[in-house]
């Protein structure tokens, strides 16, 4: 694939796309308005599954499941080539009520996913004292900052160029093609351009966004540090989760806030997160908060990303709108995008990921 390709956005989606394109022989330059991976990619928790997968449309779970299956080989290769361990491991995920047990079990059984009906000690969170829980033992996690660091190093090894602090101006087009990309750090030309700018993708596309509905959705999280992890599995209750790291860090998340491009943390979010977490792990009330931060997710209808060629501009593609599951979907999304660009057969039907242009 002897093409010069520009990728706008150096989050997890842009980096994963770049690595795959470089492996195919392309010359890749990534333009990043801020710093590599420091927006939604860094801010998230790294759970490699939708929180309650049976509540999502097939377009989400199909891509998330396929992509999660790529992680063992992908992270192993990154560790081997860069010496940086993204800390992929199957920690399992405990799901606390409320949930629809029959729907959950039928969904898992129909897809060959292990699910166990168990009892939880966290009965204090339920007004009805319901001690039933579901456990998915094969759900894995990855440590986002380490994955991003490994990807950055791998892209540099493969000859990729990354330019940070580079604002992209409105795309120059003529005869349904991008002719050049003007930025705060110069003008660039390439055979093909890929937009993977996360929550900023619609603004980057400008008039070429058509009816693409991608907007920032703020998520706030808390971080604690224990000498030894008080739990060894992910805990989920509706949209709330607790993630244990092997070194004793505990992540608490996350809010869903439609507040535009506002990354300010709030007292209300802190109280919501610590209140929910403290009911499950009361010892948190006695622990200092190590960090409280927020990130802007690229919100899209039904969590369905848009991946593939632009419907009108011939040398433009997008890989964006992954909402809560950008890390989970990263290697799979990169694969189906590069397959489209190279004319390679797809592993499954990918027409779902073009519907966003029509505002669906």
pLDDT attached to residue 55: 95
Q: Which of 122, 178, 250, 247 is nearest to 8 (CA)?
A: 178
Q: Which of 205, 219, 183 is nearest to 326 (CA)?
A: 219
pLDDT attached to residue 360: 59
Q: Is 332 helix (H, G, I), strand (E, B) or coil?
A: helix
pLDDT attached to residue 301: 95
Q: Is 81 helix (H, G, I), strand (E, B) or coil?
A: helix
Parts of the chain with a pLDDT under 50: none
Report the C-alpha gap between 43 and 296 in whole angstroms.
8
* Sheet with 132-136, edge to edge strand ranges: 116-119, 132-136, 93-95, 234-237, 240-244, 249-253, 215-225, 291-299
Let me know: does 212 contact 202? Beta carbons within 8 Å: yes
pTM of the model: 0.95
pLDDT attached to residue 125: 55
pLDDT attached to residue 281: 92
User: 């080539």: which residue's tokens?
Assistant: 81
Report the C-alpha gap between 316 and 29 in whole angstroms.
15
pLDDT attached to residue 229: 85
Please give the share of the chain, as a percent, with pLDDT higher than 90: 90
Tokens of 240: 């709330």
Tokens of 110: 């129909």
Sequence-distant (6+) residues with CB within 8 A of 312 are: 176, 208, 210
Work out whether strand 234-237 and strand 27-31 pair parallel, antiparallel, or are unpaired. Answer: unpaired
């Amino acid at each position: 694939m002897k093409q010069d390709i520009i990728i706008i956005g150096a989050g997890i989606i842009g980096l994963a796309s770049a690595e795959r394109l470089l492996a195919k022989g392309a010359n890749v330059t990534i333009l990043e308005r801020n710093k590599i991976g420091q927006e939604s990619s860094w801010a998230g928790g790294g759970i490699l599954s939708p929180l309650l997968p049976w509540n999502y449309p097939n377009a989400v779970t199909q891509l998330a499941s396929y992509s999660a299956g790529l992680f063992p080989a992908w992270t192993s290769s990154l560790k081997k080539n860069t010496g940086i361990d993204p800390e992929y491991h199957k920690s399992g995920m405990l799901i606390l009520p409320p949930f629809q047990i029959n729907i959950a079990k039928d969904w898992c059984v129909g897809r060959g996913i292990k699910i166990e009906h168990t009892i939880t000690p966290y009965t204090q969170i339920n007004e009805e004292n319901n001690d039933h829980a579901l456990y998915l033992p094969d759900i894995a996690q990855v440590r986002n900052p380490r994955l991003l660091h490994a990807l950055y190093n791998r892209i540099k090894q493969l000859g990729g160029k990354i330019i940070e602090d580079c604002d992209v101006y409105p795309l120059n087009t003529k005869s349904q093609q991008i002719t050049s990309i003007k930025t705060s750090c110069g003008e660039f030309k390439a055979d093909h351009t890929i937009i993977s700018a996360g929550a900023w993708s619609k603004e980057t596309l400008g008039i070429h966004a058509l009816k693409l509905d991608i907007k920032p959705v703020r998520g706030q999280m808390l971080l604690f540090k224990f000498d030894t992890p008080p739990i060894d599995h992910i805990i989920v209750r509706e949209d709330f989760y607790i993630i244990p790291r092997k070194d004793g860090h505990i992540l608490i998340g996350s809010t869903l806030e439609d507040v535009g491009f506002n990354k300010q943390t709030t007292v209300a979010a802190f109280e919501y997160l610590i209140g929910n977490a403290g009911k499950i792990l009361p010892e948190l009330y006695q622990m200092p908060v190590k960090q409280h931060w927020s990130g802007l997710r690229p919100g899209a209808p039904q969590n369905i990303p848009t991946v593939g060629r632009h419907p009108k501009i011939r040398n433009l593609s997008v890989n964006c709108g992954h909402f809560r599951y950008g890390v989970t979907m990263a290697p799979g999304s990169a694969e189906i995008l590069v397959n489209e660009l190279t004319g390679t057969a797809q592993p499954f039907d990918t027409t779902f990921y073009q519907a966003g242009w029509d505002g669906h």
